[in-house]
Amino acid sequence: MLHFAAVASPRSAADGSHVTVETRRGDIARLTPDALAGASLVTASALLDVLTRDDVGTLAAACAGAGCPALLTLSVAGRVELTAPHPMDQEITEAFNAHQRRDGLLGPDAVTVAAEVFAEHGATVRLHPSPWRLGPAQAALTEQWLRGWVGAAVEERPELAERADGYLADRLQACAAGELRVVVHHSDLLALCRPVGGAA
């Protein structure tokens, strides 16, 4: 991923200035303000929900210590809407959310926790919804998402397996027929950290 990020990066910014790319592999749990020195933005997608509270604390402290804003997008919000509703929707959602919270991960609590932690470090925090809206034009993606969503729910609660198989079959059939619409709620977080070095 680091290789592709470097290769695919633009060589000039919107204002025409030169863009340089340097990749480094590291542990976010050990991120320091020094590692972010000179950075103008920390950004990531679908990251917060796979972190622990301690990880988020380290990230927020590093950003605050470097005076670097953070834009963290597409964190799961723990809510899904499927059309038409099915009696198992809520049960699958709850099992999936429990799976996301395994081993101390924040899962659907991530944005709320991150907003609190960044604010504790003096950042101004803005939250914005960023739902996935999947319909007939995104049938292949919807099918892949359904299989992963239900699979994670069953992994968390194996007793759901038999009923979940029927549920998944029904949902996949509706998807293939162009009848299924899904809204997978996500949130974006922007943390504006105070500049360091006395700047206002």
The amino acid that residue 160 corresponds to is L
Query: Would the pLDDT of 130 be above 60?
Result: yes
* pLDDT score of 105: 97
Find the largest Cα–Cα distance for the chain.
Answer: 61
pLDDT above 50 for 1:
yes
Query: Averaged over 151-176, what is the pLDDT?
Result: 97
Q: How many CB atoms lie within 10 A of CB 104?
A: 11
Mean pLDDT of 86-103: 97
- The reported pLDDT for the residue numbered 134 is 97
pLDDT tens for each residue of 13-43: 899 999 888 888 889 999 999 999 988 999 9
- Classify residue 25 as exposed, middle or buried by CB count within 10 Å of its CB (0-12, 13-18, 19+): exposed
Residue 68 and residue 191 in contact, taking contact as beta carbons nearer than 8 Å: no
Residue whose tokens read 């470090």: 121
- Give, to the nearest 10 degrees, the angle between helix 53-66 and helix 110-120: 40
User: Average model confidence (pLDDT) for the chain?
Assistant: 94
pLDDT surpasses 70 at 200: no
**Tokens found for residue 119:** 């604010």
pLDDT at 196 over 70: yes
Share of the chain above pLDDT 70, in %: 98
Pick the CATH number of 2-192 from 3.30.1490, 3.90.1200, 3.40.50, 3.30.420: 3.40.50
**Tell me: the pLDDT tens digits for 51-78?**
999 999 999 999 999 999 999 999 999 9
Mean pLDDT score, 69-89: 96
Of 78, 77, 59, 55, nearest in space to 69 by CA? 59
How much is the pLDDT for 198?
54
Alpha helices, H only, 35-160: 53-66, 89-100, 110-120, 139-156
Tell me if 183 sits within 8 A of 132, measured CB to CB: yes
Average pLDDT over residues 143-151: 98
Per cent of the chain over pLDDT 90 is 82
What's this model's pTM, rounded to 2 decimal places? 0.87
CA 38 to mean position of chain CA atoms: 25
